[in-house]
Amino acid sequence: MKKPSTNVQFTPYEISMCLHDVHRTRLWKQAIEDLVRPGDIVVDAGAGTGILSMFAAKDGAARVHAIELHPRFVALIEHMAELNEVSDKVQVHHADASRLELSEPIDLLICELLCTGQFFEPEVQVVNHLRQYLAPGGRILPSKVESFVQLLDAQKDLYGVRIDTDSRSDLLAGDEPVSTRARYDVIDFGRPVEPARVDATVELRARKTRVADAVVITSRAWLTEDLVTERTRFLYNPEVIYLKREVQLEEGRTYRVHIAYDYGCDTLDVELDVTPV
C-alpha cells in the first residue's frame, strides 16, 4: 500500500469553498460557542482561513494556536486576526500539525480536516499527535466520526462518453444504490486512534438483481453531543470508489464487503473485496 496522502495543502479555491460553505461553517461556529470556556487555550489545527480560530478568540479563549501548512493562509490568518482585533490572542504557526510541539497544555483541540471516509486529510494523525497536549478535562472537536458503505451500480457514461474513472466525489443521476448500507467505521476521538487504519468487514443485502461495480462511502461527524454534521456543500461529499471486478448481485442475497485503508490515503489505495456469503 502506498503512503497515506496526508499533509495535503489546500488551494485558495478549496479554502474559499470551505469558508463560503455557510451550512458547514455555521455548524462549527455553533459547536465552538458550545465548547469554548472563558480563558481556554485552544488549538485550531489545519486552520485554513482561520475562521474557526476567529470564532474561538471572539468566544473568550485566552489564546488560540492556529496551525497551518500553507504559507499563503498563514498570512491570511494573521490579517483576519488584525481585522477582527484578536491579534493579541491568535498565535499563528506555519507548521505541520501532526508534528508541531506545543509549549502549553490545551483545553480545546479543534481539527477540521474532515473528509468522507477520512480519505486524503490527516485528521486522525493530527488529533493522535496533539491529544498529548490536552489538559485534564480537555475537549476535542469533533468527538466522533462514522463512515458507511453501500454497493452501487454506477453511471458509466457522461456527456455521451464512456468515462474511465477510478473514483469520484459525487453521486450522478444514473448511480443506482443496489444494496443495504452499513456502518463500517467509527472513530472515537476520546481515545488514541491506533492503528490509524480501517480494516473492516460488513454484510450488505442486495436490494436488486443487478451488477455492482462500485461502492459509495458516506460519513458524518459529531461536533458536540447533539450537533452532527453530514453532507454540506463542500464537506462530506459521497465518495464513489469503483471495484476492480464488478459483481453480479442476486436480490435478497447477502454479500460480505471487506474494506481496508490507512486514514488519510487516496481513495485509489483502498482495498475492497465483495464476496457472496
Ligand X SMILES: C[S@@+](CC[C@H](N)C(=O)[O-])C[C@H]1O[C@@H](n2cnc3c(N)ncnc32)[C@H](O)[C@@H]1O
Footprint on this chain of ligand X (rule: CB under 6 A) = 7-10, 15, 18-19, 46-49, 51-52, 67-70, 73, 96-98, 112-113, 122, 126
Angle, vertex CA 120, rays to CA 11 and CA 36, nearest 5: 80
Q: Which three cell numbers stand for residue 189?
A: 476521538
CA dist 141 to 31, 155, 213, 269, Å? 8, 36, 36, 27
String of DSSP letters for 136-150: EEEEEES-EEEEEEE
| Closer of 87 and 232 to ligand X (Cβ) | 232
Cα 76 to Cα 111, 202, 251, 269: the distances in Å are 18, 44, 54, 33
Could you give the 3-state DSSP secondary structure of residue 99? coil
Q: Which is nearer to ligand X, 178 or 265 (CB)?
A: 265
CA-CA distance, 148 to 131, in Å (whole number)?
26
Q: Would you state the cell numbers that stand for residue 10, as one nine-digit string?
A: 489546500
Closest residue (Cβ) to ligand X? 48
Assess contact for 142 and 223: CB atoms under 8 A. yes
Tell me whether residue 46 or residue 238 sits nearer to ligand X (CB atom): 46
Residue 16's H or E segment, with its range, is helix 12-19
CB < 8 Å & 24+ apart, contacts of 8-11: 8/120, 8/121, 8/122, 9/69, 9/70, 10/48, 10/70, 10/73
Helix (H) or strand (E) holding 229: strand 227-229
Q: Is 52 or 204 the residue whose CB approaches ligand X more closely?
A: 52
The closest alpha carbon to 31, from 140, 129, 121, belongs to 140
CB nearer ligand X, residue 8 or residue 35: 8
**Closer residue to ligand X, CB minimum distance, 150 or 229:** 229
Nearer to ligand X, 9 or 275 (CB): 9
